[in-house]
Structures are given as C-alpha cells and as structure tokens.
Amino acid sequence: MTEDHYFTAEPASADERRERTVHLAGRDVTVETASGIFSPGHVDAGTQVLLRHLPPAPAGEVLDLGCGWGPLALAAALGTPEARVTAVDVNRRALDLVTRNAARLGVADRVRAVEPSDVDESATYAAIWSNPPIRIGKAALHDLLTTWLPRLAPGGEAWLVVQRNLGADSLARWIAEQSDDAGVPWGRIEKVASAKGFRVLRLARPVD
Ligand SMILES: C[S@@+](CC[C@H](N)C(=O)[O-])C[C@H]1O[C@@H](n2cnc3c(N)ncnc32)[C@H](O)[C@@H]1O
C-alpha cells in the first residue's frame, strides 16, 4: 500500500493497528492509527501547520472534511466542549479509527465519523476544517469542495491547508470565483499563513 491509495474505501493493506502519542488541543494524547490511511505515523506536517493557525472550534456544528484518523476532528472536540463534530472520509478504516479515538479520548458523544453519503445534505456548519485530498486530482477536488464548502453557515469559516507546490494559490483563486446555486459567492478567501511549504487558507462566509 502506498500513500497514493489512502483514499480508497477498503484499503488492501493488512489492518495493523498501532498506538501513537500526539499533541492535540494543547495536550499529549494517545490515539490509534493503522496502515492504509493517510499519515498513520504522526500528525501530518500540513495538518500541524493548520492546527497552529486555527482559532478554537466554534460551539456548534463543525465538519472535518477528509478526516483520516481524526487529528482535526479530535482537536476540535477536545478544544471546544460545545463543538459537535462530523468527520467524513471515504476510507472506512479511517472512519473506524476516528470513532475509536473519539471514544478513547472521551468525546464520542460529540464526534460522528461517517461516509459522505450518510450526511444530511441540508446540514450546515459553523466551521469546516480540512487538509483536503489534493491527490485525488483537480476535477475530483473541485467536486468535493463544491459539495461541502457551500454548506458553511452564514458567518462560518472554512480553514484549509494545501501544499504550496501542489497548487494552493491556484486553488485559492478558483475558490474565490465560485458561487452557490443561488449565485451567492462562497465567501472571501484569504491566505492566512505560509509555513513549511504549506498555505493556510480561510474562507469566510458573510452573515446573510
Ligand atoms: C490529506 S488527507 C487528511 C487526513 C486527516 N484530516 C489528517 O489531517 O491527517 C485527506 C483525506 O481525505 C479523504 N478523502 C478522499 N476523497 C474524499 C472524499 N471524496 N470525501 C471525503 N474524504 C475524502 C482521504 O481518504 C484522506 O483521509
């Protein structure tokens, strides 16, 4: 199994579970990871950059788009007791890990790990946090963002981390040009930070 195939529904590699101690929401926590998912050995460098710049999760609905084993979802739930987190991924092994990690860390009642098709299409989010799957290709990535970013609630913010040399700036330009079905722009996109080869992007949806 190469990292290129972490976004498969059923990873072909042996499901070897392991424990890792990582730093999330200001504390060291031990989580379970496995082969066949994204960055099983540690919190990915891009995700670390994003976590360093994120504000606390808002009280309310938060989406972790492409959750992997759950660093962003878990950080949101651990950092904000009033946050209710939906973590989506196509990789079922990753979803199982998020569920188990949320239970292990005592936030199972506020973290729901589900396949994208199991999310109510009318749900909206006060925050969307994502280290998006750039490697699925531009068209698929645009489809993914077109599905989820318009679900930001008025006044909500989406925070994304993207590698600079994998098209962060052109993705930001593309997001700036998008509108929802009613012709309302997705919001104002800003490059909030640049570190270690990654850009942190923030999309702010105006209050209606
Ligand atoms: C770059 S990884 C980030 C994982 C995790 N958030 C982290 O920071 O370690 C992107 C994730 O998006 C998932 N993904 C790929 N296609 C997806 C889709 N269509 N819908 C939801 N998640 C998807 C991949 O399986 C992968 O776990």
| Atom 25 in ligand 1: residue holding the nearest Cα | 7
Q: What is 3-204's CATH number, 1.10.1740.10, 3.40.50.150, 3.40.190.10, 3.30.1160.10?
A: 3.40.50.150
Which of the listed residues 39, 49, 72, 89 should we mutate to test ligand 1's pocket, taking the one with most ligand atoms within 8 A of CB? 89
Integer Cα distance of 94 and 80 in angstroms: 22
Integer Cα distance of 18 and 40 in angstroms: 9
| Atom 12 in ligand 1: residue holding the nearest Cα | 66
Query: Which ligand 1 atom is the nearest neighbour of the CA of 94?
Result: 27
Tell me, what's the pLDDT at 84? Answer: 98
SS3 content of the chain, % helix, strand, coil (to 5): 35, 30, 35
Integer Cα distance of 58 and 65 in angstroms: 16
Please tell me the distance between residue 67's alpha carbon and the centre of ligand 1 in angstroms: 5
Please tell me the distance between residue 175's alpha carbon and the centre of ligand 1 in angstroms: 19
What is the pTM assigned to this prediction?
Answer: 0.96
What 3-state DSSP class applies to 122? coil
Q: What is the pLDDT along the chain (208 residues), one digit of tens a residue?
A: 344 477 888 888 888 899 999 999 999 999 999 999 999 999 999 999 999 999 999 999 999 999 999 999 999 999 999 999 999 999 999 999 999 999 999 999 999 999 999 999 999 999 999 999 999 999 999 999 999 999 999 999 999 999 999 999 999 999 999 998 888 899 999 999 999 999 999 999 999 7
